[in-house]
Amino acid sequence: MDPLRRSPSPCSSSRPSSPSTPPCEMLGPVGIEAVLDQLKIKAMKMGFEFNIMVVGQSGLGKSTMVNTLFKSKVWKSNPPGLGVPTPQTLQLHSVTHVIEEKGVKLKLTVTDTPGFGDQINNDKCWDPILGYINEQYERYLQEEILITRQRHIPDTRVHCCVYFVPPTGHCLRPLDIEFLQRLCQTVNVVPVIARADSLTMEEREAFRRRIQQNLRTHCIDIYPQKCFDEDINDKILNSKLRDRIPFAVVGADREHLVDGRCVLGRKTKWGIIEVENMAHCEFPLLRDLLIRSHLQDLKDITHNVHYENYRVIRLNESHLLPRGPGWVNLAPASPGQLTSPRPFKVCRGAHDDSEDEF
Amino acid sequence: MSKQQPAQFINPETPGYVGFANLPNQVHRKSVKKGFEFTLMVVGESGLGKSTLINSLFLTDLYPETVIPGAAEKIERTVQIEASTVEIEERGVKLRLTVVDTPGYGDAINCRDCFKTIISYIDEQFERYLHDESGLNRRHIVDNRVHCCFYFISPFGHGLKPLDVAFMKAIHNKVNIVPVIAKADTLTLKERERLKKRILDEIEEHNIKIYHLPDAESDEDEDFKEQTRLLKASIPFSVVGSNQLIEAKGKKVRGRLYPWGVVEVENPEHNDFLKLRTMLITHMQDLQEVTQDLHYENFHSERLKRGGRKVEIEDMNKDQILLEKEAELRRMQEMIARMQVQMQLQMQGGDGDGGALGHHV
């Protein structure tokens, strides 16, 4: 962990210093900074979990993108684009891998949604997806309210949902808007412009501006959400990102030789599109956002905001507030209740208070 | 039209020469004077480059003000039909081209009804032609029937979508369908071949009747035969449209400029635009003929089968009315006869009474 780069700490349950405690003068080095190393060692031992969901119409390169992001064949089954018949209904398909890099283990779960938006009548095609996301929250909740809890609750909650917008060049379609409106209240959504190699640079910019305008008009709050910027550094960094979202991405899992280097790209008769070249597409930005800079932040927001919202609604519904240590009786959720949770933005700090009551 | 022989006016004094070899020239002159009419319909989801392709094909700007509707408007919109006509002239040959656009197709979340508008438009044109043809003045029938439909298939899918299949099955008996893979510059060569094969397989699987180019006749020259063979092998055409001039390799070409290279619209190695254009121009006449001989005749017979019964009903009504009137007359006549008999009896019964009574009736 680079101490110079400001990154949120891995244990999100640590209490930040409240504004009323004044910092105290230190007379000499004590060795507090060694706690960072201890955290690092613990984290490496435990490993990290990351759950990502990719949503979009078939053929937009979702599977290829996931393979490119994690530089591995996450999808071992059919190669993308070949003879996969469109499923009649939306299905959810999860695959889990453990990836290791320099001693850091990442348990990655990718959920694909084949059949989304492919039918003639796509009404309510987002219901299975919302149901799945809420189901993961429910699973975590059930584990959390047990009297004897596991030391480390397995986290299957979806941390990030990447939504693939087809590169029409015009604006968001009604289906996109309906879906984004509903999902932004439940999970972190990062929209991307898929297959961006069909748009020239000017078309890309115009499309991006129009999408941003559409998102503003329909009050769709995508990740990184403005209200969760903690300080000025966050604001600056995230504003830069927000200006570029949705990223125009191209995915490729084949390597080609360009100027003596081996690069991931797509080879066409008129040139080679390099996936990791910022002049060609914005894939590096997406990768940095998802993995290099905001992975922990995505998990934090999922845990502190989206999961808390879900939990509050569930507890209110069962009309049982926690009364004392170890006493909670929560009926399992019925599937019909929770497809569209009411937006109830809980600030990050509130999580600590409810932990005390428990 | 590409196989015209130059006009040869052989000396009429040549023995054995009658002169009807000159007929094609006469037809040619007449048709040039009359001009050609062609109606092309373009159907496809928004954002597939339909307008750009049409502008590129005919080197015009049929859509000068591209007003892209905002997302909010798109939600409420239903499919509309927009027909724009343009007269193009090239070397004295006039073409009156009508392009029928279908904005709103495939945009809604529920697309079940999106092709009803289109089908009723096609039927309406057939109906109008039928009406004109059955009318008294048949001199100047305007042919607005849809001769060809370019159906744009998205290059991003793995083949045909359910909507594509449903739509094509609904109109394959009414209009010539030419499937076109749009925005082909997003596909590598291998992906293109795979997609084409997959689309052809699916078309066969669902028994969709697309327009088939007629085979070249055996007396055509080899070049033409080869060209036809190439065209047939490339269906569905994968095209890229553009009207922007880009500088590439020292000359200005129509194309799209990307950071990684330039896609040339008229380069056969890059896409099938030239093939599509050739097909359209060479077979414009054939498209019109098939529309007339096959689709219109289908419509004609269907319509008359339905419409014929309607006419009979009217006649039957008239006959019925006549019969009824006759029956009524007979009844009245019978009544009169009975009354006459009664009168007679009464008269015979009472001699002196109104003999004149009997004659009142």
From B47, B154, B263, residue closest to A169, measured CB to CB:
B47
Question: In this model, does residue A252 exceed pLDDT 50?
Answer: yes
Partner-chain contact A177 B71, CB within 8 Å? yes
Average pLDDT, chain B: 80
| Residue B199 pLDDT | 92
**Assigned domain for B261 exists:** no
Partner-chain contact B158 A84, CB within 8 Å? yes
Partner-chain contact B158 A269, CB within 8 Å? no
Question: In this model, does residue A350 exceed pLDDT 50?
Answer: no
From A194, A217, A272, residue closest to B260, measured CB to CB:
A272
User: Cα–Cα distance between B354 and B347 in angstroms, integer?
Assistant: 8
Element (H, E) at B151: strand B148-153
User: Cα–Cα distance between B121 and B211 in angstroms, integer?
Assistant: 20
pLDDT above 90 as % of chain A: 19
Interchain CB contact of A84 with B (< 8 Å)? yes
Q: Which residues pair with B151 in a beta bridge?
A: B43, B179
Name the pLDDT band for B178 (thresholds 50, 70, 90): very high
From A218's Cα to the closest Cα of chain B, the distance in A is: 9
| Residue A4 pLDDT | 39
Element (H, E) at A208: helix A201-217
Name the pLDDT band for B62 (thresholds 50, 70, 90): low
> Are the CB atoms for B70 and A214 separated by under 8 Å?
yes
φ/ψ of B74, rounded to 5, equals -65, -30
pLDDT digit string (tens) for A281-325?
899 999 888 888 888 889 999 999 999 999 988 888 876 555 444
| Residue B13 pLDDT | 65
**Which residues of chain A make contact with B166, given a CB cutoff of 8 A?**
120
pTM attached to this predicted model: 0.76
Name the pLDDT band for B198 (thresholds 50, 70, 90): very high
Interchain CB contact of A87 with B (< 8 Å)? no
**Assigned domain for B148 exists:** yes
Partner-chain contact A197 B258, CB within 8 Å? yes
**Which residues of chain A make contact with B68, given a CB cutoff of 8 A?**
170-171, 210
A-chain residue closest to B72, CA distance = A174
List the alpha helices (DSSP H) in chain B: 23-34, 50-58, 71-76, 116-133, 162-171, 189-205, 222-233, 273-282, 284-290, 297-349
B222 lies in which domain range? 26-239+271-310
pLDDT above 90 as % of chain B: 11
B143 vs B119 pLDDT, higher one = B119
DSSP states of B285-329 as a string? HHHHHHIIIIIIHHHHHHHHHHHHHHHHHHHHHHHHHHHHHHHHH
**Which residues of chain A make contact with B191, given a CB cutoff of 8 A?**
81
From B228's Cα to the closest Cα of chain A, the distance in A is: 25
Partner-chain contact B74 A123, CB within 8 Å? no
| Residue B64 pLDDT | 52
**Which residues of chain A make contact with B75, given a CB cutoff of 8 A?**
174, 177
Question: What is the domain-level CATH number for residue B281?
Answer: 3.40.50.300
> Are the CB atoms for B196 and B181 separated by under 8 Å?
yes
pLDDT digit string (tens) for B2-27?
444 455 555 656 677 777 778 888 87
Listed residue (B76, B77, B124) closest to B100, CA to CA: B124
The CATH code of domain A36-78+87-314 reads 3.40.50.300
Mean pLDDT of B296-310: 76
B-chain residue closest to A80, CA distance = B158
User: Which residues between 47 and 76 in chain A have a beta carbon less than 8 angstroms from any beta carbon of chain B?
Assistant: 57-61
From B289's Cα to the closest Cα of chain A, the distance in A is: 33
pLDDT digit string (tens) for A89-104?
677 888 888 888 888 8
Name the pLDDT band for B68 (thresholds 50, 70, 90): low
pLDDT digit string (tens) for B234-283?
889 999 988 888 887 788 888 888 888 888 888 888 888 989 988 888 88
Which range is least confidently modeled, A42-56, A57-71, A310-324, B235-249? A310-324
Question: In this model, does residue B127 exceed pLDDT 90?
Answer: no
Which range is least confidently modeled, A112-116, A140-144, B321-325? B321-325
Listed residue (A77, A63, A182) closest to A111, CA to CA: A63
Mean pLDDT of B164-173: 90
Average pLDDT, chain A: 79
Tally of structural domains, chain B: 1
B-chain residue closest to A196, CA distance = B186
Instruction: Quote ipTM for the complex.
Output: 0.74
Interchain CB contact of A214 with B (< 8 Å)? yes
Interchain CB contact of A121 with B (< 8 Å)? yes
| Residue A208 pLDDT | 93
Question: In this model, does residue A332 exceed pLDDT 60?
Answer: no
Which range is least confidently modeled, A3-17, A167-181, A265-279, B272-286? A3-17
**Which residues of chain B make contact with A279, given a CB cutoff of 8 A?**
259
Size of interface A-B (CB pairs under 8 A): 125
